[in-house]
Each structure stands twice: as structure tokens, then as C-alpha cells.
Amino acid sequence: MVLTEAAGRVAPPSDAHPDVLGVVIDIPRPPEVASLVTLADGTTSLYTSSGGGTIGAGGHPPVVRAGAELLVALQHDLDLFPADERVDLPPADMVQLTVLTPSGRRRARIPSRAFWGQEPSTVAHLVAAAQALLGAVREATPQGGPRP
């Protein structure tokens, strides 16, 4: 997703997260990568590199709530995400969060083991918010839908 181009087309951020327009979470699950996207307007989708995905999950109120909570958490810790305009995917052992802001992309990586709760994390609250969104999307996905 070309986030700098998208920045001009997404809804403005809310008062609760004035510097966060959205986030893309790239989750490697070799041999694939799943990308979870949530935007300030409530739009949320899950894409997989194999071509599958869940588009329009933001039509479900629990998904909208979880997405908004993640964006608020990112706003609170935005200083942990340095400016980074690269568009490469993370290595297999890292989960990447790319935050879309009015001034460009900011990015950080979390060890996959920490993202999946297999080891401690210094950003456990961000992991919990991301996992809550992922869980809400899973609940909104029909049986047999994509699972990162």
C-alpha cells in the first residue's frame, strides 16, 4: 500500500488521535505475509500475500472500536515510531507496524514471538491493542476466512 498517496484520501484523524491517520501491520507467517490495515474512518481490512483477505471488516462495530483503540494507543506512543518512508516487508521474525500520519510514515518492528505472546514485550499495550483488532476481524470473518 502506498501510504503517502493514501494520506490525502483518508479521513482526517480524530481528536483522540490527531497525529494518526491509520496503521498497516505486516505479520509474516511464512511463506506468506498478512497485512492488517485500519484507518481513522473505521475502514479495516486484512490482506494476505497469497491473494486472500477480508475486505470491509470495518462494517462491524467491534472491529471499528478495536481499530479506534489501536489508533489511540499508537497516538500515545507515536514517539516510539521514527519517520521511515521505506515500503519493504519485515523479516520473518518481526512484525512491522507502519503508522500513517499527516506528515508521512513512521515505522517500528516488534519481534514475532512478542507479538504472539511467546515472550515479554516492552510495548505489550500496543501488542494487546493490535491483537484485539486482529481478534475482532477474525470474529467478523466467515468460517474459513484468512487467518494470519
Backbone angles phi, psi at 113, to 5 degrees: -60, -35
**pLDDT at residue 51 in the model:** 77
**pLDDT at residue 8 in the model:** 55
**pLDDT at residue 9 in the model:** 62
**pLDDT at residue 148 in the model:** 59
Closest CA to 40 of 111, 100, 107: 100
Site of grid cell 482526517: 12
Backbone angles phi, psi at 74, to 5 degrees: -65, -40
Q: Give the chain's residues under pLDDT 70.
A: 1-10, 52-58, 143-148
**pLDDT at residue 50 in the model:** 79
Is the N-terminal amide bond of 82 cis, ω within 30° of 0? no
Domain definitions of the chain by residue range: 3-81+93-114+121-139
Is the N-terminal amide bond of 111 cis, ω within 30° of 0? no
**pLDDT at residue 138 in the model:** 87
Q: Report the alpha-carbon distance of residue 23 to residue 105 in Å, rounded.
A: 9
**pLDDT at residue 53 in the model:** 66
